[in-house]
Amino acid sequence: MKKFRVLSLLSVLAFIMLFTACGGEKKAAEEKKAEPLEIKVSYIFKENEPTHIAMKEATDAINQRLEGQVKFVLFPNGQLPVYKDGLQQVVRGADFIDVDDLSYIGDYVPEFTALAGPMLYQNYDEYVKLMHSDLVADLKKKAEEKGIKIISLDFIFGFRSIISDKEIKEPADLKGMKIRVPASKLFIDTLNAMGASAVPMSFSETISALQQNVIDGLEGSYATNYLTKTYELRKNMSLTKHFLGTAGVYISTKVWDKLTDEQKAIIQEEFIAGFFLIITVASVVLNVFCRAAGFGTISTSEEIATISFVWSVYIGAVACYKRKMHIGVDMLVQMFSDKGKKIF
């Protein structure tokens, strides 16, 4: 009888332990399920550059709308892999977004290299129209076959030109000059063809290389020159406009397929809004830089007021578009009391 009681007690204890373990596993599984999908967003742009500003605006909105489901975490300034290494993370299926020039997609779909080619675009509109053409839609499908989902190709930060002490008027002026370029074969081949000696280098090393005269100059946009204060180290910006500076947003198809249709729609919608914002910010930077460089002068307070008003309207329009607000009526309604809002 005593032996039977001992066995019964052991059976009860075993059942309790099994039930507790199962409950713990179930709770842990529920907690794991509740964690949002965290996606790292990597790019070379600094915190004060238009692309980062647009990315932050877009991802903040996505995180707010998909709270508890998906979380985007930004890593600017090359903190995580960028360029080829960044795109390799995407192809391998990491929870990772690479924001880079579309020429890097050319390593997987060669036609994209041609679309990022030198001296190809005269203005932003030409680029945007091409990126939304049937041709590029077909190329995007080819990229997906390689494991790359292209969310957007619309991020533009301006034409790239030569920044150096020497004024460049013709290709012969570039002979023997060491010009920093991104680690892209297209960039290297183009600058070499223009007569320079291309030096592939990460941007984090570029400023010190300029200070130590390891390189003679670099190529970049107005935003690069102004926001990184490169103009303090090299006095001339020769407007070669050899490339249009653009960036695409790339994610693994494996990661993209984890998302619901609603989540995908929200992500794409916010990146579209980010495109309008970057155009606005880049244009403001261009305006400021041109005036600071002496291409224009501010002579009256009236002109300053006019410029401020115009850009306030543009930035306001972007904000309203992003929030699906009617620019006139909806902003006015927001000023009403709760009782007044019900009328509308």
Average pLDDT across the chain, whole number: 80
Tokens 């006015």, located at residue:
332
Tell me what pLDDT residue 174 has: 96
> CB 292: neighbour CB atoms within 10 A?
12
Q: For the segment 26-68, what is each residue's pLDDT rounded down to a tens digit? A: 555 454 556 899 999 999 988 888 888 889 989 999 999 999 9
β-pair partners for 246: 156
Query: Averaged over 8-34, what is the pLDDT?
Result: 53
Greater confidence, 181 or 342? Answer: 181
Tokens 């495109």, located at residue:
275
Query: Is residue 252 within a helix (H) or strand (E), and if so which, with residue range?
Result: strand 236-252
Query: Is residue 265 within a helix (H) or strand (E), and if so which, with residue range?
Result: helix 261-292
Burial of 110 by CB count in 10 Å (0-12 exposed, 13-18 middle, 19+ buried)?
A: exposed
Greater confidence, 290 or 198? Answer: 198
User: Would the pLDDT of 314 be above 60?
Assistant: no
- Reported confidence tier of residue 203, pLDDT bands at 50, 70, 90: confident
User: Would the pLDDT of 283 be above 80?
Assistant: no
Tell me what pLDDT residue 322 has: 56
Ranking 174-178, 285-289, 327-331 by mean pLDDT, the lowest is: 327-331
- Reported confidence tier of residue 183, pLDDT bands at 50, 70, 90: confident
First to last CA, the chain: 81
- Reported confidence tier of residue 75, pLDDT bands at 50, 70, 90: very high
Pairing of strands 178-181, 236-252: unpaired
User: Would the pLDDT of 279 be above 90?
Assistant: no
Q: For the segment 228-264, what is each residue's pLDDT rounded down to a tens digit? A: 889 899 999 999 999 999 999 999 999 999 999 999 9
User: Would the pLDDT of 8 be above 50?
Assistant: yes
- Reported confidence tier of residue 338, pLDDT bands at 50, 70, 90: low
Tell me what pLDDT residue 87 has: 96
Closest by CA position to 106, among listed 97, 96, 114: 114
Length of the chain: 344
